[in-house]
Structure 1
């Protein structure tokens, strides 16, 4: 291990010893959901909490974009609370029977596996090097996925979904023939996108639904290209 990594490992070890706040929050969640705690908390399920996870995630994004430190602390805490909440529900559900420690251990193993250039003997000098072999690692982890589109969350907002699918489409040589040169800056791009949405709205068109429809068509092209390659 290099001196830099050794120093970082030592620092991380010191930090781990001061995570009393995290332990206290875990205990608080358990107390609220225990008999004699909060009736509302006790009644929640994974499904009933989905709306709150989505809301808290978007509020965290707002805090990050605002650059406000105090808001980031609060919103990160709200997202963390959702994770702990789901883990506590699972710990109290017989057929699930996992807790936050299982979640953390699984994530640690996943990160170690995804970073052989840190924990193993693979070489990666740049971020591009890392991205280049991540697909191979994911393929080994999830052999049941047969398409580059597998694993993309369908509930993503249309614009984020489009960007994700376009990136996957490039991997199989499919490009959007209707693509035009983008504005030079994100500020200009934002105004163009807002103008398109405003124009669609004035004509009674649903921009979200329209983009999802276009994405589905692109996905069909991707799967056709994958099938042709397989044959």
Structure 2
């Protein structure tokens, strides 16, 4: 260990845990004795690691493991510290200015807590939040569309949810879930129409055009289902994740049943697989 790194580490032990973490980050990025991997990183190279850490936090929360949640939150916090260090080195801003900016924003967007505003329920809080954000965009003379800062690299389900919330904030929304169910049925019927047209397409160009239409209609169907989830106060990403896990649990049980009976799933007809599936569902219900 270099003298510089050792001094950084010794200093870190005398600080608060947040200051200690910042000092450790500085030591890792120190050209004299720092970590070669950390020294090679850029904001762009950290993106996949940040996304991975966020998903690991979510997984720990869903598992209900408090120790794992603490550890994964620490890993995610380290990502923020890393970005802050890179920005500080380039002379843009530092961790303190990040914390200050978000503190100012939270105070500004919660006038019902830190000012004279009034909000009696969560829906009113969200309405005020979006109104304040629109005002902020207008003051900055940037794109004032409700979609101005919707991230393009969000998972599609979450992006659809954010888009719909933005529209709902300005009154463009269904009144209730029953209306959305009607829209889901309508979109499903349109998918069926396009699927019926596919076998009738003779030329490759015609088939490609119909396939594009099918993709469009399925996209509309998924968008409508996300809308239904929102009206049911369900996060569609979470709901689909739970469905994925449930399906895998059941199918693993199908595999175990088949293996116990010395049966190969790939050799079984569909009706036999369905019987195994129903048995697995009953056993795991």
Shared fold, TM over 0.5 = yes
Greater Rg over alpha carbons, structure: 2
Matched positions, count: 172
Asked if the contact 1:148/1:168 (under 8 Å) is kept, the reply is: yes
SS across alignment from 1:125: coil
Matched, 1:136 2:131: yes
What is the correspondence of 1:106-121 to structure 2 with a 5 Å cutoff? 106-121=101-116
Asked if the contact 1:112/1:119 (under 8 Å) is kept, the reply is: yes
Q: 1:135: how far off?
A: 1.7
CA 1:20/1:131 → structure 2, altered by over 3 Å: closer, same or farther?
same
Q: 1:213: how far off?
A: 5.1
Q: 1:59: how far off?
A: 0.6
Question: Which residue number corresponds to residue 178 of structure 1?
Answer: 183
Equivalents in 1 of 2:217, 2:23: separation in Å? 44
Equivalent of residue 22 in structure 1, options 9, 18, 23: 18
CA 1:117/1:210 → structure 2, altered by over 3 Å: closer, same or farther?
same
Which structure: greater helix fraction?
2
What is the correspondence of 1:135-174 to structure 2 with a 5 Å cutoff? 135-143=130-138, 144-170=142-168, 171=170, 173=172
Equivalents in 1 of 2:87, 2:130: separation in Å? 30
Matched, 1:100 2:100: no
CA 1:156/1:212 → structure 2, altered by over 3 Å: closer, same or farther?
farther
TM-score normalised per structure 2:
0.54
Q: 1:27: how far off?
A: 0.6
After superposition, give the CA deviation of every residue in 1:173-226 in whole Å (9 maximum; x if it has no partner).
266773249xxxxxxxxxxxxxxxxxxxxxxx9xxx8799549x99xxxxxxxx
Asked if the contact 1:158/1:212 (under 8 Å) is kept, the reply is: no
CA 1:38/1:212 → structure 2, altered by over 3 Å: closer, same or farther?
farther
Equivalents in 2 of 1:149, 1:139: separation in Å? 10
Equivalent of residue 34 in structure 1, options 30, 41, 46: 30
Equivalents in 1 of 2:98, 2:114: separation in Å? 20
Q: 1:54: how far off?
A: 0.5
Unaligned runs of 5+ in 2: 1-14, 175-179, 187-210, 225-285
Q: 1:167: how far off?
A: 2.5
Question: Which residue number corresponds to residue 195 of structure 1?
Answer: none
Question: Which residue number corresponds to residue 69 of structure 1?
Answer: 66
